[in-house]
Structure 1
Amino acid sequence: MLDYFEAIVVGAFQGVTELFPVSSLGHSVLIPAVVGGQWARDLDVSAPESPYLAFIVGLHVATAAALLLFFWRDWVRIVGGFVSSIRHRRVQTSAERLAWLIILATIPVGVSGLLLEHLFRTTLGKPVPAAVFLIVNGVLLYLAELLRRRAAAAEPAADAPGAAAEADVQADERLSRMSFGRGTLIGTAQVLALLPGISRSGVTMAAGLLRGLSHEDAARFSFLLATPVILAAGVLKIPDLFGPLGTGIHGQVLAGSVASFASAYLAVRFLTRYFHTRTLSRFALYCVLAGAGALAVLTLR
């Protein structure tokens, strides 16, 4: 069973940690285990036919909805670019190129998720591996920052205040100039996020930085890539919530989804401003400390 307090807390954490580069699945595994007691029994993502897993993945719909709302102008351009590309059988405009970049970059994680998600979740979706992978996530973020600084990649000038809509268009145009190979490589990094503790947004941002993107553009591309993946994962699990796994928790799912939507919207609003001038370093430190702390608690308990 899952009570309303658990649902709201988990929903709020999921919305934030899905977009912050700190792994939502890792936190979904570790928080109940560290709290212990009823939480550890109710919220076990690795249990066979786990209603908690159906609940967690169902929250993805709310998170994706928050991303769609925040980036709605971008998605209007992207969908329009896809339609015009199909209609005219071309890939010329920035919107058309960005649409196909997102499609091609999403295919590897989509296929891998269908084939490997169950294996990774049941084998590695336990607290100790999740804590170890959270530490690994922090190391990956730090290494990406270190290698990028050594490469001395130039940051683009900050956009003038009050020109948000124009800045969004300019950012999409910059992203559309990536080669399809580079975009697909960045998107393929999402496959690592099947491991509990490895962050989807973190690994795609790290890959983007290593391929020459600025922090701002790497974060933007990460969020655009995540939207269809998160939405698809949630939609695939929705039927489970209306079957035996969802019996008795529909109200909790709704409460958790509202919390997830609100926290995800605030998170993406914060992060798109944060990465104008700041880096992944603080998140790297957090992941290492949180993972090590969780590992210590789980080992000594």
Structure 2
Amino acid sequence: MTLFEIIILAIIQGLTEFLPISSSAHLILPAEVLGWRNQGLAFDVAVHVGSLLAVMIYFRRDILQMSGAFLTHGFSRQQTTDSKLAWCVVIGTIPAVIAGYMFKDFIAIHARSAAVIAATTIIFGLLLWYADVKAKHTQKLETLTFKQAIFIGLAQMLALIPGTSRSGITMTAGLMLGLNRESTARFSFLLSIPVILGAGLLSVKDLLQANDAVDWSALIYGAGFSFVSAYLCIFLFLSWIARIGMLPFVIYRLLLGAVLIGFILW
């Protein structure tokens, strides 16, 4: 890849990993639409590492509080707010782990196409709009229940399909349950940590088995630009989401889906 392609793909990964518009879709599109060469497994790992570091640094206080509470109260009858939230993250992650293990190869072979992305981009975009419009926006993250965490976790399974958007579908589920916009966004971001970490470790395993040559400069640039764009994305999204709502992202998804359909038909 050229330096220009490295920077563009890294920024795309950092921005779209946490926005409800699908990172996997946008990383596939340059190859499908512009004819760029596949960025490769090593680069994919690098940009995900950048995104993971960004979300972990941004939520470092939450992670420390949840981890400490989980170790001290996680297995007792007297759960604290932080230990309960830690359990919600664990519970919400399990369905995605199971689905990823069972269907990863099938989806990689049969679902990574512009046609699938166009359909899921539009369908799940409309679902996000419906959830945002009909949501009560009253429940705070501190009151999230285990049943609600399971529901959001089950919804996250759909994110294996390119174009769905992991953050988009988890935010859709959270809004449907009555969480306010900021709370559903924060839980979606916290839920991304074990998912990105797990996917990254699997990719590293595949990378080590492949024994391919590694362009370390591309990986460093990729991780760096992904980190910066992801951190800014999280900060701005949480600052604005209560005011702007999900409509701008819904409109973007509909336009993107329309462009993809036009590309396929042309």
- Give the TM-score taking structure 2 as reference length: 0.93
Letter in 2 for 1:222: S
2:82 corresponding residue in structure 1: 95
Question: Cα distance 1:128–1:233, how it changes in 2: closer, same or farther (>3 A)?
Answer: same
SS for the counterpart of 2:17 is: helix
Aligned to 1:15: 14
SS of corresponding position for 2:163: coil
Map Cα deviations across residues 228-273 of structure 1 (whole Å, 9 max, x no partner).
Answer: 1112211221233445364143321221111111110010011010
Q: What are structure 1's unaligned runs of at least 5 residues? A: 44-50, 157-173
Q: Aligned match of 2:250 in 276, 284, 287?
A: 284
> 1:121 touches 1:196 (CA, 8 Å); kept in 2?
no
1:260 aligns with 2:229: no
Identity of aligned residues (%): 35
2:78 is aligned with 1:79? no
Q: CA deviation at 1:187?
A: 2.0
For residues 84 and 200 of structure 1, what CA distance do their matches in structure 2 show? Answer: 31
SS at match of 2:77: coil
Where does the alignment leave 5 or more consecutive residues of structure 2 unmatched?
A: none
Structure 1 residue 182, shift from structure 2 partner = 0.9
Alignment of 1:170-181 (within 5 A): 174-181=140-147
- Which residue, 154, 157, 164 being the options, matches 1:191? 157
- Distance, in Å, in 2 between the alignment partners of 1:187 and 1:69 is 23
Code of the aligned partner of 1:265: Y
Equivalent position of 1:110 in the other structure: 97
Q: Distance in 1 between matches of 2:77 and 2:200?
A: 32
2:181 aligned residue: 215
Distance 1:91 1:256, change over 3 A: farther
Which of 116, 119, 122 in structure 2 is aligned with 1:129? 116
The amino acid of 2:172's aligned partner reads A
Q: 2: distance between equivalents of 1:57 and 1:176? A: 33
Q: Match for residue 48 of structure 2?
A: 60
**1:143-171: CA deviations, max 9, x gaps?**
212322xxxx2558xxxxxxxxxxxxxxx
Instruction: Name which of 125, 128, 139 aligns with 1:138.
Output: 125
What RMSD in Å do the two structures reach over aligned CA positions? 1.8
Query: Hey, what's the Cα distance between the residues in 1 that align with 2:82 and 2:132?
Result: 29
- How big is each residue's C-alpha offset from its partner over 1:29-73, in whole Å with a ceiling of 9 and x where there is no partner? 12321112xx0xx12xxxxxxx62453244222111100000100
